Structure 1
Amino acid sequence: MSKWLYLHIIFLFFGISQNANATVFDETPVVKVIQDSIYTDTEPIDKREYDNLKDKYGGDEFTYERTVENSGWWSRFKQWLSDFFKDLFNINSDAQASDFTDIALKVFYVVIFLLVVFFIVKAIINKEGNWVFGKSSDKRIIPVTDIENNIYETNFKSLIAEAESEDNYRLAIRYYYLWLLKTLSEAEIIEYDVEKTNSDYYLEIEKTETKEEFSYTSYLYNYIWYGEFDIDGHQFNKAKNAFTQFLKTLWK
């Protein structure tokens, strides 16, 4: 084979290779960009004006961010109390101090409730002479306003006789004690006042003998009347003798 034939074959192969390369690798995608149209509003705008917006919407109901300063007095008090406990007990966390404050307030509420109940019960006991759910102590108890506030107009002798006829010994001792206070006041040994206590009257008495007798009869009265102990006729007569003997010394 001649060299011209070789050259012709080489040139033919080279041309085919160039065409193949151009056909295989020319795969670049074509991206078309479509742009939407923008609507322009050309309508006229009505201008609105608002007057005094700050005054109109300046109340608490329009305060959306609460701070200690704009909160109620209770929130400010709890925050102050929380800060107080935090400093007092060296609490590092505000959350722990707040929890401690809530617990302390709950305990305080319970104590207040118990105190209220205690004073109500105590007032009932002092007025009626018996526990609310206990036995009925006296079928008839003269109200304080009718006896203690009108001690000088009261006929204790007849009241005592009526109580004894009904075997109401506790009530009879109550009348004896009030009769004794009336007599001491009329003798100007004490100055009677419905708000005073036995101790107040004891300190007003000057004579030692009178002090001792008053101390004993006051003990009997407190034991029988406020102690709610049932006493029989024999016990009543012993207490009655103590009161009557003391009264006799004052009538001399």
Structure 2
Amino acid sequence: MYKRIFISFFFSGFAVLLYAQDYNVYDTTVKVETVADENYEEDYEEYSQVDTVLYSNAVVLEKDSINSWKRKKEFAYIKNLDSLLKASQEKEPIHKQRIPGGDSFATRLLGGPVIKIILWTLALFFVGIIVYQLLKNRGLFQRSSRSKVAEKPEDEDILLLHDDFEKLAQQAIAIGDYRMAVRYHFLKILQQLRDKNHISYEPDKTNARYVYELPLNWRNDFSKLIFQYEYVWYGHFDINQHQYEQVKYGFHSFLQKI
């Protein structure tokens, strides 16, 4: 009986062994092997010791070497670049090129502050003269000049009521007052122009306005008489006998035209 049990057990174990060989059993366990990087520490040490100092590594080329390179076929484009650069330099504005000797003495003198002040002063002076003449012709300064003349109490309005200004002029000449004689000659001309309706007389009207009331062919001569009269009378200019005769001739010549 024991012999049967042993034989049964033997065959059972053998069957199990055969079944295990037919059924493949795989182990799914993953084995991770850690491999130490031996070069890591060496790379870190090499990186930490990098030299950050800048060194000048200029390459000096001889002129002959540069010219020889330019003649090579590979560097043929350099000739075109040189010609373009030269052309652009020749086209620079002329005013940017300074004269080697610098500015001349005359240029520095005319550009100095003293000359500028003198020129501005002269310009203002001439402008002032022009403005004064314009205002004077409009009579703005005429009243003030007349107020200073207190030699005769009569104004021009009263004097124009006289009929014989030649007689008054002779009386002034007799006492040597040629300046007053010139005044009488001018008032006589105004009287004649008014009587013949060439002007419209008003006491406050300026002599320049009388000029524009006259015919064109009279204006130039009458303007000269006004200039002489105002220069002598309002300018307080004491003329001599010879100067008076010249002024008198101009007044008499104009009277013949009226």
Q: Which has the larger radius of gyration?
A: 2
TM-score in same-fold range (> 0.5): no
TM-score range, shorter chain: 0.3 to 0.5
TM-score (norm 1): 0.43
TM-score (norm 2): 0.42
